[in-house]
Structure 1
Amino acid sequence: MSGSLRDQLLKKGLVNKKQVQQAQKADKRKARDNRKAEKVGEEVVVDEARLQAQKAREEKKLRDREFNQQREAERKQRELVAQVKQIIERNAIRPSGEVDYNFVVAGKIKKIRVDAMQQKALSAGRLAIVESAERFVLIPAGAADKISQRLPEAILSQADNSASEPDPDDPYADFQIPDDLMW
């Protein structure tokens, strides 16, 4: 009850002083409880805002970390490509000759012209074929090994002579296929 209304009710005799004091205490208690509730409500709102801000910071850190990892992977890939290109440029042997050497790239048969020594080296696995500046070039097996450690897909063709010992159970072991078979 407001102060003037209390005074009016007290003058008219509808309430006594004790009732007025009890009403004042109740009003004070309600006001104090409301202030506490507002304060708790403000704290809840502040806590929620802090939690949302912290969550946003963590999400941003995660996005930044993923972006940095992606950028680092792209940088490493560019670095590997540059290393492979440099190895090819340093070790490139231009194919030249009158003998056609056929090989398969992405399911298509490609052909380069090599001389007899290059053909034997290709068949023996001592030379490999790579692409440089949209041309096919030959590189020594050592350089091909370095390239295959970095980017295996850069080696277009290299003979595999690791199975030099034939399988004893192979029924065709007596019939060797010549290395320089032309097709």
Structure 2
Amino acid sequence: MGNSLQEQLLKAGLVSEHRLKETRTDKRKTVKQPGGRAAAADDPARRAAAEAQAEKARKDRELNLRQQEEAQQRARENDIRQLIHAHRVVREGGDLAYNFTDGTTLKRLYVNRDQHARLVDGRLALVRQDTFYELVPTQIALRLRERDASLVLVHNQSTAKPAADDPYAEFQVPDDLMW
């Protein structure tokens, strides 16, 4: 009973000893090769594992890209905060109300007379920093507008000159007009 089929065929004389050795050698080579019977049996599992690994790599790349974009966004926001904080004009002792709009909301900021005059003629600009409002020089407002235009709330630029046929050209609006 312990005889294998190969040994039984050899005893019966149906195969030669040389052919039996070749068959054993071929079988051993087939099992050891990556494309052999052992690999063929695992082929769907290996394919599924390779697909799962490729999917994981794709998700990891997307996650890394998203994290890099978020880090860049935070760095831009910090640069803007530092720029505003480094160049803001101190508003201590402001007794004059300056009214402006933030979106659809009417806001009021107290400034002194010099700051009010500089805001009106465009030498200062009013910007939003998080939930606060700050006064900054015009050059800084232009740099902020390049990075995020929604931060600059008030930047008066007097580039328009009155037209020659304007009937109200001789009547100037006073700078101290309050609304």
Corresponding residue for residue 178 of structure 1: 173
Distance 1:166 1:153 in 2: 28
Question: 1:14 maps to which residue?
Answer: none
Counterparts in 2 of 1:133 and 1:68: CA distance versus 1, 3 Å? closer
Out of 99, 105, 109, the position equivalent to 2:106 is 109
Measure, in 2, the Cα distance between the counterparts of 1:147 and 1:94: 18
Match of 1:89 among 85, 104, 112: 85
Q: Provide Cα deviations, 1:51-98, integer angstroms capped at 9, x if missing partner.
A: 222221221121111111111111111111111111111111123433
Aligned mates of 1:61, 1:165 — CA distance in 2: 61
Q: Distance in 1 between matches of 2:163 and 2:57?
A: 57
Look up the SS of the partner of 2:109 in the other structure. Answer: strand
The answer on 1:124 being equivalent to 2:121 is: yes
Q: Distance in 2 between matches of 1:145 and 1:61?
A: 43
- Tell me if the contact between 2:119 and 2:155 (Cα under 8 Å) persists in the aligned partners: yes
The one-letter amino acid of 2:74's match is: R
Shift in alpha-carbon separation, 1:72–1:160, aligned structure 2, 3 A: farther
Tell me, in whole angstroms, the C-alpha distance in 2 between the residues paired with 1:154 and 1:130.
Answer: 5
Any conservation in 1 of the 2:124–2:137 contact (CA below 8 Å)? yes
Deviations 1:112-139 (A, max 9, x none): 1222332222123221112457442210
What amino acid sits opposite 2:58 in the alignment? L
User: Quick one: distance in 2 between partners of 1:51 and 1:179?
Assistant: 80
CA pair 182-45 structure 1, distance change in 2 beyond 3 A: farther
TM-score (normalised: structure 1): 0.63
Larger CA deviation: 119-128 vs 100-109: 119-128
Q: How many residues align?
A: 145
Normalised by the length of structure 2, the TM-score is 0.64
Superposed CA RMSD: 3.3
- 1:46 counterpart = 2:62: no
Q: How far apart are the structure 1 equivalents of 2:71 and 2:156?
A: 32
1:65 aligned residue: 61
1:123 is paired with a residue of what secondary structure? helix
Distance 1:157 1:179, change over 3 A: farther
Larger Rg, first or second structure (1 or 2): 1
Per the alignment, do residues 45 and 182 of structure 1 end up closer, same or farther by CA in structure 2, a change over 3 Å counting?
farther
Secondary structure of the residue that 1:100 maps to in structure 2?
strand
User: Residue 159 of structure 1: SS of its match in structure 2?
Assistant: coil
- Measured at CA, do residues 134 and 43 of structure 1 come closer, stay the same or move farther in structure 2, by a change above 3 Å? closer
Q: Indicate if the aligned counterparts of 1:80 and 1:151 stay in contact, CA closer than 8 A.
A: no
Q: Answer yes or no: is the 8 Å Cα contact 1:91–1:139 preserved in 2.
A: yes
Contact kept? 1:125, 1:160, Cα under 8 Å:
yes
Which structure is higher in RCO with an 8 Å CA cutoff and minimum separation 6? 1
Q: For 1:175, give the aligned amino acid.
A: Y
